[in-house]
C-alpha cells in the first residue's frame, strides 16, 4: 500500500453526480422539526460535513433520485421503533456455533478462496476480543443505550431432509437451531457465484430463525456471521441487511476479510478519510465516457481545494496518514474489525427508522459494494445525528428542553467515540475518526 501524499480534497460531490443526474436534496429544513426553512439556518462547514462523493457505480450514481428523509419525516413516521423504558437494549448475537458432527464440513466456510494462501485471521467467537470491542463501540455510538451480548447461542445442525427436486442444483440446506424452546430451521446454502466462498447461507432464511427469538426488552438485535451471505439467486453476495420495522439486522464479516481487498478493487490508501483525495477521485472519474460538452452544464460550485489545516476533515486525513502500513496479523484483524463496526452501526441505524442519507457524506449513506462502504465516513451527518439525539437524549442525565438534550447528547456521543478511537489509533479509520471528532468538539 502506497501512502497518499496529495493535499487537495473534495468537500462535495464528484463530477459523476452531475453526469448521473444527482443533486443533493435541499438542506434547509432537513433538520427542522416542522420541515420549514428556519429563519436563521445553520450552515455546516463543508470541511466538517462534506457532501456525498458519488463515485462511479456508487449507490447515488446508480439511483440518483433519492430525496432523503428529513427530520420531520422521520419524526412523523408512525411505524418507527421508539426507544422506551421497556425497550432500550441492543443485543449482539454471536455467530452460530458449529457442533462436532459438522466441524469437518464447515471448518473452512469462513475462509475466502484465493490463489495462494489467504491470511487465516481469527474467527469471531465468544472468546475473541473483537466481540467486547464491538459492544463497546456500539455503546459509544448509540450513547445511552444498553448494548449487551445476546445471552444464548444459535447452533448449526445437520439437515437430513432430502431435496424434493431432482434437478442438479448446487443449493443445499443446513439446519439452524434456535436457543430456548428448540426449533431447527432449514437454511439454504450454496457456493458463491463469484467463487470466493465455499458456501454462502441465505440471508432471509437466517432472519426467519432470528425473528423467533427477539427478547421482549430489545429495541434492536444484530446477528453476526462469519459466513458469506446471499439473498437472491442472482446475487453474488450481500454483506448484511436490516429489517427496521422488525428491529433486526444481520451482518457478515466474510467480505471484509483483508485478503479480499485486492480482488474487490479496494484501495486501502484511499479509504475514508482519504477517499476525499482529489487526485484519487479524478482518477476514478476519468474512466467514464464523457458526454459531448453541449450536453453538459458546467457547475459554478468549486467542490474541492486545500482544507484549512485545523478543519475536522483535514485533521482526519493527517491522522490516518500517520498510521504505519498494516502488516501484522493483529493489525489486519483490527482493520477488519473497524470496517465491520462501521457497517453494524449503519444497519442498526435502520432499526431506529433511518433511511439512507443523500444529504452529506454520512455513515447512513446507501452503498452497493464493499469498495464504496470503505469510502464513507463513520460519523452521522447533522440530519441523522439530530434524529438519534432526539431519540436518545432523554436517556441521559440532562435537564432542559428537548433541543438542549439533543445538543448535550451529541457532545457526549462525540466524546465517548473519541475516547474509544483513541485506544485504536493504530488503525487508520479509527485514527482519522478520533482526529475528526477532536476537531468537531473544538468547533462546538
Q: What is the pLDDT along the chain (444 residues), one digit of tens a residue?
A: 567 888 899 999 999 999 999 999 999 889 988 767 665 556 789 999 999 999 999 999 999 999 999 999 999 998 899 999 889 999 999 999 999 999 999 999 999 998 765 556 666 555 566 889 999 999 999 999 999 999 999 999 999 876 565 555 688 999 999 998 889 999 999 999 999 999 999 999 999 999 999 999 999 999 999 999 999 989 899 999 999 999 999 999 999 999 999 999 999 999 999 999 999 999 999 876 555 443 444 444 578 999 999 999 999 999 999 999 988 888 999 999 999 999 999 999 999 999 999 999 999 999 999 999 999 999 999 999 999 999 999 999 888 888 899 999 999 999 999 999 999 999 999 999 999 999 999 987
Query: What does the CA dihedral 88, 376, 312, 298 come to, rounded to 10 degrees?
Result: -130
Strand pairing partners for 91? 148, 221
> Does 314 lie in the same domain as 192?
no
CA-nearest of 374, 344, 345, 347 to 361 is 374
- What is the Cα–Cα distance from 351 to 271, expressed in whole angstroms? 26
Q: What is the CATH number of the domain that holds 150?
A: 3.40.390
- What is the Cα–Cα distance from 181 to 237, expressed in whole angstroms? 31
pLDDT of residue 29: 85
- What is the Cα–Cα distance from 8 to 281, expressed in whole angstroms? 11
> Does 147 lie in the same domain as 275?
no
Strand pairing partners for 76? none
Query: Does residue 405 lie within any of the structural domains?
Result: yes
> Does 391 lie in the same domain as 367?
yes
* Grid coordinates of 197: 466462498
> Does 398 lie in the same domain as 336?
yes
Query: Does residue 293 lie within any of the structural domains?
Result: no
Query: Does residue 297 lie within any of the structural domains?
Result: no
Query: Does residue 291 lie within any of the structural domains?
Result: no
Query: Does residue 4 lie within any of the structural domains?
Result: no
CA-nearest of 336, 333, 307 to 239 is 336
Within 8 A by CB and 6+ apart from 2, the residues are 269
CA-nearest of 218, 242, 244 to 80 is 244
Strand pairing partners for 276? none
pLDDT of residue 125: 58
CB 70, CB 390: distance < 8 Å: no
> Does 174 lie in the same domain as 251?
yes
> Does 117 lie in the same domain as 46?
no
Give residue 175's domain range: 89-258
Domain count for the chain: 2
Query: Does residue 121 lie within any of the structural domains?
Result: yes
pLDDT of residue 397: 87
> Does 197 lie in the same domain as 103?
yes
pLDDT of residue 208: 96
> Does 277 lie in the same domain as 224?
no
> Does 268 lie in the same domain as 353?
yes
> Does 216 lie in the same domain as 146?
yes
CA-nearest of 328, 346, 355 to 272 is 346
Query: Does residue 395 lie within any of the structural domains?
Result: yes
For the chain, the distance separating the N- and C-terminal CA atoms, rounded to the nearest angstrom, is 35
CB 200, CB 237: distance < 8 Å: yes
Query: Does residue 162 lie within any of the structural domains?
Result: yes
> Does 222 lie in the same domain as 360?
no
Alpha-helix runs per DSSP H in 298-401: 312-321, 329-351, 370-373, 382-392
**Sheet (strand 184-190) strand order:** 155-157, 172-177, 184-190, 200-202, 228-230
pLDDT of residue 395: 92
**Sheet (strand 89-93) strand order:** 146-149, 89-93, 218-225, 248-252, 240-243
pLDDT of residue 85: 87
From residue 123, how far is each of 113, 116, 142, 313 by CA, in Å?
16, 20, 25, 33
> Does 421 lie in the same domain as 355?
yes
pLDDT of residue 297: 45
Amino acid at each position: 500500500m502506497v501512502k497518499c501524499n496529495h493535499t487537495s480534497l473534495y468537500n462535495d460531490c464528484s463530477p459523476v453526480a452531475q453526469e448521473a443526474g444527482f443533486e443533493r436534496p435541499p438542506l434547509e429544513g432537513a433538520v427542522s422539526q416542522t420541515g420549514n426553512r428556519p429563519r436563521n439556518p445553520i450552515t455546516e462547514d463543508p470541511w466538517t460535513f462534506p457532501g456525498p462523493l458519488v463515485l462511479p457505480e456508487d449507490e447515488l450514481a446508480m439511483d440518483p433520485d433519492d430525496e432523503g428523509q428529513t427530520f420531520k419525516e422521520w419524526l412523523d413516521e408512525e411505524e418507527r421503533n421508539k426507544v422506551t423504558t421497556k425497550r432500550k437494549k441492543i443485543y449482539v448475537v454471536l455467530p452460530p456455533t458449529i457442533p462436532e458432527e459438522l466441524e469437518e464440513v464447515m471448518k473452512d466456510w469462513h475462509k475466502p478462496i484465493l490463489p495462494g494462501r489467504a491470511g487465516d485471521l481469527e474467527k469471531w467467537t465468544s472468546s475473541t476480543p473483537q466481540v467486547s470491542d464491538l459492544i463497546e463501540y456500539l455503546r459509544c455510538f448509540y450513547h445511552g443505550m444498553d448494548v449487551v451480548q445476546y445471552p444464548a447461542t444459535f447452533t448449526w445442525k445437520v439437515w437430513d431432509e432430502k431435496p424434493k427436486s431432482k434437478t442438479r442444483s448446487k443449493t443445499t440446506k443446513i439446519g439452524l437451531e434456535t436457543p430456548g424452546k428448540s426449533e431447527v430451521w432449514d437454511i439454504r446454502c450454496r457456493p458463491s457465484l463469484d467463487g470466493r466462498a465455499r458456501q454462502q447461507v441465505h440471508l432471509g432464511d437466517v432472519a426467519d430463525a432470528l425473528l423467533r427469538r427477539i427478547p421482549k426488552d430489545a429495541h434492536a438485535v444484530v446477528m453476526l456471521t462469519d459466513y458469506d451471505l446471499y439473498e437472491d439467486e442472482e446475487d453474488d453476495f450481500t454483506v448484511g441487511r436490516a429489517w427496521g420495522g422488525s428491529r433486526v439486522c444481520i451482518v457478515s464479516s466474510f467480505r471484509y476479510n483483508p485478503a479480499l481487498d485486492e480482488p474487490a478493487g479496494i484501495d486501502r490508501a484511499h479509504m475514508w478519510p482519504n477517499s476525499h483525495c482529489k487526485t484519487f477521485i479524478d482518477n476514478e472519474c476519468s474512466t467514464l465516457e464523457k458526454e459531448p460538452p453541449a450536453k453538459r452544464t458546467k457547475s459554478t460550485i468549486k467542490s474541492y481545494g486545500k482544507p484549512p489545516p485545523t478543519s475536522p476533515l483535514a485533521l482526519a486525513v493527517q491522522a490516518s496518514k500517520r498510521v504505519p502500513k498494516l502488516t501484522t496479523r493483529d493489525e489486519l484483524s483490527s482493520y477488519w474489525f473497524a470496517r465491520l463496526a462501521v457497517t453494524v452501526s449503519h444497519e442498526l441505524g435502520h432499526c431506529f427508522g433511518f433511511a439512507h442519507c443523500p444529504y452529506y457524506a454520512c455513515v447512513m449513506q446507501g452503498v452497493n459494494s464493499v469498495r464504496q462502504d470503505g469510502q464513507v465516513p463513520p460519523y452521522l451527518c447533522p440530519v441523522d445525528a439530530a434524529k438519534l439525539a432526539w431519540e436518545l437524549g432523554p436517556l441521559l442525565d440532562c435537564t432542559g428542553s428537548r433541543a438542549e438534550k439533543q445538543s448535550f447528547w451529541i457532545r457526549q456521543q462525540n466524546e465517548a467515540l473519541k475516547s474509544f478511537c483513541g485506544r485504536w489509533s493504530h488503525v487508520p479509520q479509527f485514527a482519522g475518526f478520533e482526529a475528526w471528532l477532536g476537531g468537531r468538539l473544538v468547533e462546538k
